Structure 1
């Protein structure tokens, strides 16, 4: 599939998906705009299959977000007013994958497999983090990652068995599906994507406990830092092991 065809197809698919997201109240108006821009850049600078892999994230994220949304609202732990995401949420999870796609375009495929794994690893971090946060709030047993002392569900830096298990499962599912979409095969590098997702998720909790709770970084900044970490670790692991 050539670049123009892939980009036009991605625009059509993105428009349909974002229309559904708008109708369902999954995204704010600015969130839709930010999502569309990042999706088009990724489709053009990467290819249609990069775009398809990127689209797996919102599908999995919204599934986790709207799981028992009424209970989350009753607990005061929902995203936004009713689970919707805005442009800052999209920036937090989409900035690094978008930048990696631009680097891939500029590099003209010179480091193709490494940058592709870095791209998927960055998204895997967001998948693991979102699932851990959205599902983990239902676990009453939560520990602060830096002290291992009991804490409240939903607090920055809190980890739970339910959150860790759910994030491990969803990041593995994402790793398999996204890798198959982009590489059209399955091999050992799927494990790199999965491991990066889990490591980035734990790092998100550490950053949340150490800096976010003290107001030194926003949750969006935390998302960007940990996604970048996942991308860098994924790139280096792929480079070393290959």
Structure 2
């Protein structure tokens, strides 16, 4: 009955995502599959965190959308995300969920897989908030040279963008703490938020060095920035 309720809920969310244009059709199907894997290989709390990420990142994407569209900085035609967005954003979380499931089957000692899962999405959410909300700031500097550059360019940072990046990571940090412990715990919030914000800076550096040169795609930059943050976090937790 529980499994049926989860599947039904995800199907409803799939329909809602199409109505609100959160994803294109293939992106919604990919998100549905990701959600199913996350909830059964992780837990319901993992799925809730994933949904929080999807909702708040969509709000950031739709913020000031007309202005971003006029500057050709918008995501998709109406702010919708594609399959590649879903996979690059969720592939590390999926891997962590699978490792968690295998760990459970082996009855091994508990490890902070949910925290690593949260950190992977803290990075992506931090980057989304930075790129979607930071474009309003005209004082943008290239992270590798600190020279003035154009708003919206890969690797460009601003005070508004950095504040938005921190807030995006903080949302996931606070959500993780509530879902994992039922209350606000400073250390987990600081850790998840800090590693998410760090990953966003790595994303900007990779964007400046490789994405602008056509050597990496936006999705690949997202993946590697989240991967580095998760690996560093895992070493800390060990």
Give the TM-score normalised by structure 1.
0.92
**Stretch of structure 1 that moved more, 170-179 or 138-147:** 170-179
Counterpart CA distance in 1 for 2:173 and 2:137 is 25
Q: Does the aligned pair in 2 maintain the 1:34–1:90 contact within 8 Å?
A: yes
Classify the secondary structure of the residue corresponding to 1:81: coil
Q: Does the aligned pair in 1 maintain the 2:173–2:188 contact within 8 Å?
A: no
Counterpart CA distance in 2 for 1:196 and 1:107 is 24
Q: What is the match of residue 43 of structure 1?
A: 39
Q: What is the match of residue 80 of structure 1?
A: 76
Q: What is the match of residue 16 of structure 2?
A: 20
Spell out, residue by residue over 1:29-58, the C-alpha distance to the aligned partner (whole angstroms, 9 max, x if none).
Answer: 110011011111010000111111111111
Q: Does the aligned pair in 2 maintain the 1:121–1:231 contact within 8 Å?
A: yes
Spell out, residue by residue over 1:161-205, the C-alpha distance to the aligned partner (whole angstroms, 9 max, x if none).
Answer: 101101112211221112211333432122111111100000000
Q: What is the match of residue 144 of structure 2?
A: 146
Q: What is the match of residue 53 of structure 2?
A: 57
Q: Does the aligned pair in 2 maintain the 1:192–1:238 contact within 8 Å?
A: no
Q: Does the aligned pair in 1 maintain the 2:124–2:200 contact within 8 Å?
A: yes
Counterpart CA distance in 2 for 1:229 and 1:8 is 36
Superposition map of 1:63-212 within 5 A: 63-108=59-104, 110=108, 112-187=110-185, 188-212=187-211
How large is the Cα RMSD of the aligned pairs? 1.5
Structure 2 gaps of 5+ residues are: none
Classify the secondary structure of the residue corresponding to 2:157: strand
Q: What is the match of residue 26 of structure 2?
A: 30
Structure 1 gaps of 5+ residues are: none
Counterpart CA distance in 2 for 1:184 and 1:14 is 24
Classify the secondary structure of the residue corresponding to 1:143: strand
Q: 1:12: Cα distance to partner?
A: 2.6
Spell out, residue by residue over 1:77-101, the C-alpha distance to the aligned partner (whole angstroms, 9 max, x if none).
Answer: 0011221100000011111001100
Q: 1:111: Cα distance to partner?
A: 5.4
Counterpart CA distance in 2 for 1:12 and 1:141 is 47
**Stretch of structure 1 that moved more, 185-194 or 146-155:** 185-194
Classify the secondary structure of the residue corresponding to 1:80: coil
Q: 1:17: Cα distance to partner?
A: 2.1
Classify the secondary structure of the residue corresponding to 1:106: helix
Q: Does the aligned pair in 2 maintain the 1:56–1:178 contact within 8 Å?
A: no
